[in-house]
Amino acid sequence: MIDPNRVRNIDRIIGSRICWFLSQWSRVTRRRREPKKIKKILFIKISEMGSTILSFPAINFIKKEYPEAQLYFLTFSGNEEIVKILKSFPEKNIYLINNSSIPHLIFDTLKAAKMLRDQKIDVIVDFELFSRISAILGYLIKSPIHIGFYKYHMEGLYRGDFFTHKVIYNHYLHTSLAFLTLAKSIKEPFNSIPLLKKRLTGNLRVPRYKSSKNEIENLWKKIQSLNPKINPSMKLVIFNTHASDFVPERKWPKEYFAKLAQEILKQGNTAIILIGTAKEINYIQDVENKINHPLCINFAGQTDIYELLTLYNISHLMVTNDSGPAHFAAMTPIYIISLFGPETPLLYAPLSTRNVSLSAGLACDPCINTYNARRSPCIDNLCMSELKVKEVLPYMYKIMGLPKPKMTDVTTYNMKDLLAHINAYNKLSLS
């Protein structure tokens, strides 16, 4: 995998120059025309699996507006399974870019652009927040309608001037709503500046993943092969203790997770499942060693995405850093405690009414945002370490006393409710 800081620098230094050149060329050559009929729509979301889930309400809106249109999705290869789970795209319409190295990234980007250009796409919806590579891809693919976030008078976010529909990025909107502004801009005229001058109304939801009986049985076999003492009569609590290396400041201290686990295990009839990728096994093993309890297992690297969703379906609660798994969990009825620090739940809270987002609320957070390419100067993430175990425990005790949600339970957000829930931060009353 390419170093995240190297990706940022390439995007900023080289990407912005390519965007400038293409913008000059576009001014000379472009002829704006609206398609007679919208038959093919491409969505671009190349990075961040969690944000891919947040894009679903926008995708779902377009599916309903254009039921006969063919939908396409372009993303990094690591996001393939998440896109498939959305069940909005035929497999042949999911285009992947290998970002394991710079040569692979360049080759696959050009290859994908050529293949999608041959498809004669009518609309491109770019979900990226000021990424130059996605803007360049959209330009190379070509379409009569090209929608994306545009900087207008904001400094330092230049990504060219070749979008036909320039949507202002409103950092007061939850990310799912920001994506919806892109989707709802399709029918707006080219000369409407800035977009979107409409109220957002309706409901927000993410797809529900229902595990089959066979999936549940197979997962239990895998769990009990690691620890036969853990059984279906217990309440399973999942800990997602890691976060991607792209924003490592999001990690809550290992010692805090260990203390939290030790406290909740005292209640009895409870087991802790530590999740993560195969690359995170050693990190998570250290957490398990600190917990040091016979009803705690290191499950890192043991699941694919479908097994992970099944684990959510059979579990009671997940405590997680702000990262992709929190958004995957929103596809199931599990309770979620999401821990925020360098980013804010105002923008990235999971779309689940069973989520509680907690933050220490330091004056410096959030320090990571789209304007600084999600890069923080912080060398000591006190925003996470100042969120103490004693502040999380009351919510955990409250949730553990609630009935386990059924797999058939559906979460649908009214937009006003979403804003009220996020602004309240803590969504379960302790009274």
Mean pLDDT by 10 residues, the chain (431 residues): 72 87 82 82 91 94 95 94 93 92 88 95 94 91 93 83 91 91 92 86 83 96 96 96 79 95 92 94 95 96 95 96 93 94 89 88 85 79 92 90 64 54 44 29
Query: Tell me, what's the pLDDT at 361?
Result: 85
Full domain range(s) for residue 256: 213-424
Query: Tell me, what's the pLDDT at 35?
Result: 80
What does 319-330 look like in DSSP terms, one character per residue?
EEESSHHHHHHT
- Provide the residue type at 84 as one letter: K
355 and 410 assigned to the same domain:
yes
C-alpha span between 324 and 250 (Å, rounded): 12
| The last residue of a domain, from among 200, 232, 255 | 200
265 and 353 assigned to the same domain:
yes
Query: Tell me, what's the pLDDT at 179?
Result: 95
CB atoms near residue 96 (< 10 Å): 18
> Shortest CA distance to 303 belongs to which of 235, 211, 193?
211
> Does a structural domain hold residue 206?
no
> Does a structural domain hold residue 232?
yes
> Does a structural domain hold residue 158?
yes
C-alpha span between 383 and 365 (Å, rounded): 7
170 and 298 assigned to the same domain:
no
Give Cβ neighbours of residue 410 (< 8 Å, ≥ 6 apart): 205, 208
> Does a structural domain hold residue 431?
no
Query: Tell me, what's the pLDDT at 320?
Result: 96
Angle at 172 between CA 169 and CA 173, to 5 degrees: 75
Please report where in the chains the tokens 């913008």 appear, as a residue.
23
> Does a structural domain hold residue 429?
no
Query: Tell me, what's the pLDDT at 95?
Result: 96
Query: Tell me, what's the pLDDT at 316?
Result: 95
Strands in 135-249 per DSSP E: 145-150, 165-168, 203-204, 235-240
Beta pairing partners, 4: none
106 and 174 assigned to the same domain:
yes
C-alpha span between 429 and 352 (Å, rounded): 16
159 and 295 assigned to the same domain:
no
| The last residue of a domain, from among 200, 221, 245 | 200
C-alpha span between 398 and 339 (Å, rounded): 16
Residues 365 and 344 sit within 8 Å (Cβ to Cβ): yes
C-alpha span between 272 and 118 (Å, rounded): 50
220 and 169 assigned to the same domain:
no
> Does a structural domain hold residue 271?
yes
Query: Tell me, what's the pLDDT at 290?
Result: 96
Beta pairing partners, 319: 239, 337
User: Would you state the structure tokens that stand for residue 112, as one six-digit string?
Assistant: 């994908």
Query: Tell me, what's the pLDDT at 426?
Result: 39
185 and 223 assigned to the same domain:
no
Backbone angles phi, psi at 76, to 5 degrees: -70, 155
End-to-end CA distance of the chain: 47
Query: Tell me, what's the pLDDT at 158?
Result: 85
Rg (CA), the chain: 22
147 and 290 assigned to the same domain:
no
Backbone angles phi, psi at 320, to 5 degrees: -145, 145
245 and 173 assigned to the same domain:
no
How far does CA 430 lie from the centroid of its chain?
A: 28
53 and 105 assigned to the same domain:
yes
> Does a structural domain hold residue 430?
no
What is the CATH number for 305? 3.40.50.2000
Which helix (H) or strand (E) is 113 found in, with range? helix 102-118
Which helix (H) or strand (E) is 272 found in, with range? strand 270-275
The two beta strands, 317-321 and 335-340, are parallel
Query: Tell me, what's the pLDDT at 154?
Result: 82
| The last residue of a domain, from among 135, 167, 200 | 200
268 and 399 assigned to the same domain:
yes
- Provide the residue type at 348 as one letter: Y
Give Cβ neighbours of residue 274 (< 8 Å, ≥ 6 apart): 238, 239, 241, 284, 287, 288, 296, 297, 298, 299, 300
Instruction: Name the region of 321 (left: φ>0; alpha: ψ -120 to 50; beta: rest).
Output: beta
> Does a structural domain hold residue 205?
no
11 and 106 assigned to the same domain:
yes
Query: Tell me, what's the pLDDT at 409?
Result: 55
Could you tell me the pTM of the whole model? 0.89
Strand order in the sheet with 94-97: 94-97, 70-76, 40-44, 123-126, 145-150, 165-168
Counted domains in the chain: 2
